Structure 1
């Protein structure tokens, strides 16, 4: 039985392992260089943990998925969502997104946002099925994130910012 809980300092190593394992799927769509990029440092993960913006999906005591949340343009921004391949395709990512939705609602935030690949099946098409829509003109914070991605080497034509209103409690 999987359950979602706040991430703890002891989860940091598992978060990195999950992100690396989940990222390997990018090799199947010609984006191996994405899979080969380093994941956040332990200190970066710990920042999310300390700020209460990291949540894990645990199978018993073992994390099998996680989500990291930032605040961007007054919305809860999904910075990273990863599920271990051994637990993929079971609706666990959607559960994590719904958890962030509840977290955002408790803070009276109006929406969830994210930046993702436009045509990778488990990116924008997946998030569209979860109720996210493309943002025509991103706010200043999302626009800055997209510019930083382009500076990092991501082709802006392949990226999209998306938004989903927070669901009423």
Structure 2
């Protein structure tokens, strides 16, 4: 019987850039199963963006058995919150609470910087999106609660062709 993998977490390193892009691309393929082929057919993040986020220490990776990167959380520090830009785990490692652990790593980092909130934007009805984040303690942000930064992010999503009527902003307050 093979032992269960041991997962560790660390900031992404330059050599992780292509793996992060591959994980994102593979995770995007799941959207074909819910009729969102535009996302499934999309290219991965630009290498330059990933490299910039790595240099800024804004990507945390999950590593299996000290060797293989199997998931990541990418975030953007803001004055009063961390905005979670991306959370992806290889489907071969789904169901092992790696995503939840990555969110906890981001929350721990935020708390260490006296940041009291995580926010994100996600699809309302996709099972591994808003319903998943609700289980992790996030709640929907009402339209009237959106501040200028979140409105600007929503506008940027629309400019990229995302259907914001199917999306929701969420937040998790950190104790």
TM range (shorter): over 0.9
Residue in structure 1 matching 2:38, options 33, 41, 55: 33
Residue-by-residue CA offset, 1:24-48 (whole Å, 9 max, x unaligned): 1000000011111122111111111
What is aligned with 1:21?
26
Distance 2:170 2:160 in 1: 20
Q: Is the counterpart of residue 71 in structure 1 residue 77 in structure 2? A: yes
Unpaired segments of 5 or more residues in structure 1?
A: none
Change (3 A) 1:134 1:73: farther
The answer on whether the counterparts of 2:82 and 2:118 sit within 8 Å (CA) in structure 1 is yes
Aligned length: 167
**1:80 and 1:103 mapped to 2: Cα distance?**
16
Gaps of 5+ in 2: 1-5
> Which residue does the alignment assign to 1:159?
167
**2:111 is matched with which residue: 105, 110, 119?**
105
- Following TM superposition, by how much is the alpha carbon of 1:154 offset from its aligned partner in structure 2, in angstroms? 1.5
Whichever of the two has the greater Rg, that structure is 2
Q: Is it true that 1:119 corresponds to 2:125 in the alignment?
A: yes
* TM-score, normalised by the number of residues in structure 1: 0.95
Superposed CA RMSD: 1.0
Deviations 1:17-72 (A, max 9, x none): 10111111000000011111122111111111111111100012110000111124
Partner in structure 1 of residue 152 of structure 2: 144
| Separation (CA, whole Å) in 2 of partners of 1:123 and 1:21 | 16
TM-score (norm 2): 0.92
Greater shift after overlay, 144-153 or 110-119? 144-153
For the 8 Å contact 1:73–1:142, the answer to whether it is kept is: no
What is the DSSP-based 3-state SS (H/G/I as helix, E as strand, rest coil) of the residue aligned with 1:70? Answer: strand
Q: 1:55 aligns with which of 52, 56, 60?
A: 60
> Greater CA deviation, 83-92 or 33-42?
33-42
* Partner secondary structure for residue 149 of structure 2: helix
